[in-house]
């Protein structure tokens, strides 16, 4: 038997104001699109903004459905939209903001497992790391320089 230790690291910004200017703008777009989420069941709203290497920004917000689990998370809405509209573009940065209608979210909220897998697929496809910035409604912002920090043991097409 052996033990494997996996270490991850994140950069922590105290607020949106501390982010680099381009990321501030991206996070502000994630916050604005978060407000347009369709979340009548969970009351939990998420916005995602992707910066592509062609300088386009693609937005997504979570979209719920009474026929659960037919809805989609904000991250996947944005990723799949970018793949459909700009299939050759690489995702350079992703900004995510999450808020609850019922309680304050001041802790950075990372993507769910399904979104992590989708981000991993695109990072693997483009052979280029995606910087992922995530936060709650306000407060600290975490930066993961690659999905491998959030999903260290990835499942990709090499296993198929």
Catalytic residues: 75
Q: Give the orientation angle of helix 113-126 with respect to helix 74-85, to 10 degrees.
A: 30
Q: For the chain, how far is it from start to end, CA to CA, in angstroms?
A: 27
CB atoms within 10 A of CB 11: 11
- Of 130, 141, 138, nearest to 51 by C-alpha is 130
Place of tokens 């350079």: 92
DSSP tally for the chain: helices H, then strands E? 3, 6
CA pair distance 53, 123, nearest whole angstrom: 13
């Amino acid at each position: 038997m052996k033990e494997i230790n996996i270490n991850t690291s994140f950069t922590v910004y105290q607020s949106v104001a501390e982010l680099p200017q381009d990321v501030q703008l991206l996070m502000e777009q994630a916050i604005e699109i978060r407000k347009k989420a369709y979340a009548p069941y969970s009351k939990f709203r998420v916005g995602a903004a992707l910066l592509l290497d062609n300088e386009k920004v693609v937005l997504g917000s979570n979209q719920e459905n009474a026929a659960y689990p037919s809805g989609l998370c904000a991250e996947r809405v944005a990723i799949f939209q970018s793949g459909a509209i700009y299939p050759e573009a690489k995702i350079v940065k992703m900004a995510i903001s999450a808020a609850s209608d019922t309680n304050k979210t001041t802790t950075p909220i990372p993507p769910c497992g399904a979104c992590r897998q989708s981000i991993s697929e695109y990072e693997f496809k483009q052979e280029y790391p995606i910087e992922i910035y995530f936060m709650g409604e306000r407060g600290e912002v975490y930066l993961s320089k690659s999905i491998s920090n959030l999903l260290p043991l990835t499942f990709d097409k090499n296993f198929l």
